[in-house]
Amino acid sequence: MAEETEKKEVKTTKKVKRKRINWTKLGIVIVIVAFILIFLWPGGILLSEPGQATRYVNTSYDVFVGDQIIDTGSGNIREGTLSGSIGFISDKLDQEITNMQPGEDKNITLTATEAFGTCDSSNNFEYDRKQEIEREQDINRTRNVTLAIFTQMFEEEPEVGEVYETPLAEWKYKVLEIFDNELTLSIETELGKEFPAGYYGVLKVKTITDDKITLRLEGEDSIVPSEVGNIEIEFKEDVVVSTLTPEIGAEIQLPNLPKARVIELTEDTIKLTTNHQYCDQEVIVSIKVLGRSTQTTSTGGPIQHIEGAPTLEFYIMSYCPYGLQMLKGVLPVWKQFQSHANIELRFVNYILHGQEEQDENARMTCIREEQSDKLIDYLTCFVENGDYERCMVQTGVDSAEVESCIDERYDTYFVEDNARNEQYGVKGSPTVVLNGEVIELWPRSPSNVAKAICDAFDSKPDVCDLTFSEENPTAGFGGSTGGSGGSGGSC
């Protein structure tokens, strides 16, 4: 789509502002690392911290509002984390469990202020159901780019009059002029050429002049399912009207808005609330303690590199639908190939999906670097619906260590990801790098991921004989398959 193409080009020249690197803090870290290497690593053996004892409670519970069971669960849960896992505001439930003996069961009553809070009308808001897009759009045919950007995109030195193309852009570009370190490029296309336009069908080239290209949206009236509800597409003479119909009670996230629950639909608006579904409600938790245990664990550091094995790096944004699609394709393979190949999650060095994406990129990076033994399980949980709090509890991620990492050490980890972005010219989520070369990997199915890795082995291990799904995951959260055709979207 032309708008998406222009967005990609903007990314290459202006990165979204992100968290500033604290160079003073980075310098302190470097000094500390040097001290460790000199004084605490004799003979190449790094002294390690002793294992940490973590207490778990094995429970079975049902959560009631009136006579209705609204949540149920069982299993080993880290002590002190059950309240947060369910979503309660207070830790009263965990405090009550502390004094229960194995085999004991109990009904624990929580008031609204101890459970899901009180309802607040200021947490209600509206969103327009109908959106209009002009069917015809003009774009400038010529644009100026720096020599550095050009060579990153096309991996060639420019020559006046030559036409260049790259998988990273929909258009071909002709070099019109070169002066100093800047070039003037012209989009090269033809009348009637079509580009995919997502839900809206295609963009067709209608007119071409020396200065502008006019594109027109073409398609048929249709109803398209999406993660936030059905979208009715209606083509009119001058505009395309899209009408969103989510389910009442569904929790959805709309552009530039917090995740919220749909409480009402009118002809023109969607009414939503960030209040909990059971705000103002007293809650009873019927719980039984089945047993208690203590486990000694050590926090896993970075994933160890396997010398001589293929290395597949994939660069994503944590809330980019296409990055999530790539992640869902990689995860089944990653679980099987951990001891055979190097598979590395990395992040593009710009943000398009707001603060929650910045926070989640940092969270995943810290888990990758400091609790790597939890990373795959955490990611597998996260791609279901993005509920990071529950995923950290379910997979045993130490949330306090993650917060400490984000505040004190994340900047140093970002330096490495940023350097690799520059090294490989990463310009989209997802970008896949295999053994130091950017590759096109489509479809993003587990089978195709496994094939790419196995083809890079000099001698294929037995794990390459495993069968993986050939279904392409859908973009975004959720576990369905049947992702869109073509060459794949990106953010």
Q: pLDDT tens-digit profile of 352-368?
A: 888 899 999 999 999 99
Percent of the residues in the chain that have a pLDDT greater than 70, as a whole number: 85
Instruction: Kindly report the average pLDDT of the chain as a whole number.
Output: 84
Q: Half-sphere exposure of 104 toward its Cβ, with a 13 Å CA cutoff?
A: 12
Helix ranges (H only) for 47-114 are: 82-86, 92-98
109 - beta bridge partners? Answer: 284
3 state SS of 133: strand
Average pLDDT over residues 104-114: 96
Identify whether the C-beta of residue 19 lies closer than 8 Å to the C-beta of residue 358: yes
**β-strand pairing of 124-128 with 222-226:** unpaired
Domain ranges of the chain: 15-36+300-465, 54-114+278-295, 127-273
Nearest to 139 by CA among 238, 290, 10: 10
For residue 126 the two structure tokens come to 């509206």
**β-strand pairing of 229-235 with 222-226:** antiparallel
* Eight-class DSSP state of 180: T
pTM, full prediction: 0.49
Nearest to 429 by CA among 291, 324, 278: 324
Reported as a single tens digit per residue, the pLDDT across 185-236 is: 999 999 999 988 877 889 999 999 999 999 999 999 999 888 889 999 999 9
Of 47-61, 136-150, 193-207, 239-253, where does mean pLDDT reach its minimum? 47-61
Rounded distance between C-alpha atoms, residue 345 and residue 327, angstroms? 9
Average pLDDT over residues 453-461: 92
Identify whether the C-beta of residue 280 lies closer than 8 Å to the C-beta of residue 112: yes
Rounded distance between C-alpha atoms, residue 276 and residue 115, angstroms? 10
Reported as a single tens digit per residue, the pLDDT across 313-323 is: 999 999 999 99
- Residue 58's φ and ψ, nearest 5 degrees, are -90, 115
Q: Is the pLDDT of residue 464 over 60?
A: yes
Rounded distance between C-alpha atoms, residue 52 and residue 47, angstroms? 15
Q: Tell me yes or no: is domain 15-36+300-465 CATH 3.40.30.10.
A: yes
Average pLDDT over residues 2-13: 37
Q: Half-sphere exposure of 103 toward its Cβ, with a 13 Å CA cutoff?
A: 0
pLDDT-derived band at 239 (thresholds 50, 70, 90) equals very high
**β-strand pairing of 182-188 with 172-179:** antiparallel
Rounded distance between C-alpha atoms, residue 174 and residue 162, angstroms? 6
Helix ranges (H only) for 215-272 are: none
Helix ranges (H only) for 87-201 are: 92-98, 147-154
DSSP string of 372-418, one letter each residue: GGGHHHHHHHHHHH--HHHHHHHHT--HHHHHHHHHHTHHHHHHHHH
Q: Tell me yes or no: is domain 54-114+278-295 CATH 3.40.1350.10.
A: no
- Residue 335's φ and ψ, nearest 5 degrees, are -60, -35
Identify whether the C-beta of residue 434 lies closer than 8 Å to the C-beta of residue 311: yes
**How far is CA 363 from its chain centroid?**
11
Distances (CA, A) of 209 to 97, 152, 191, 248: 73, 28, 11, 48
Rounded distance between C-alpha atoms, residue 436 and residue 440, angstroms? 13
Percent of the residues in the chain that have a pLDDT greater than 90, as a whole number: 59
Residue written as tokens 């399980």?
377
* Eight-class DSSP state of 473: B
Rounded distance between C-alpha atoms, residue 253 and residue 259, angstroms? 4
Identify whether the C-beta of residue 61 lies closer than 8 Å to the C-beta of residue 73: yes
Q: Whole-angstrom distance between the N-terminal and C-terminal Cα of the chain?
A: 12
Per-residue pLDDT, 482: 55
Q: Half-sphere exposure of 440 toward its Cβ, with a 13 Å CA cutoff?
A: 9
Rounded distance between C-alpha atoms, residue 175 and residue 157, angstroms? 11
Per-residue pLDDT, 259: 83
Per-residue pLDDT, 108: 97
Q: Is the pLDDT of residue 32 over 50?
A: no
Rounded to 5°, the CA angle 20-22-23 comes to 120
Per-residue pLDDT, 450: 96
Q: Is the pLDDT of residue 113 over 80?
A: yes
Q: Is the pLDDT of residue 21 over 60?
A: no
Of 147-151, 191-195, 279-283, 363-367, where does mean pLDDT reach its minimum? 147-151
Identify whether the C-beta of residue 383 lies closer than 8 Å to the C-beta of residue 352: no
Per-residue pLDDT, 36: 34
Per-residue pLDDT, 231: 93
Identify whether the C-beta of residue 58 lies closer than 8 Å to the C-beta of residue 76: yes
Per-residue pLDDT, 86: 87
Average pLDDT over residues 426-436: 93
Q: Half-sphere exposure of 210 toward its Cβ, with a 13 Å CA cutoff?
A: 1
Higher-confidence residue of 198 and 171: namely: 171
- Residue 76's φ and ψ, nearest 5 degrees, are -75, 125
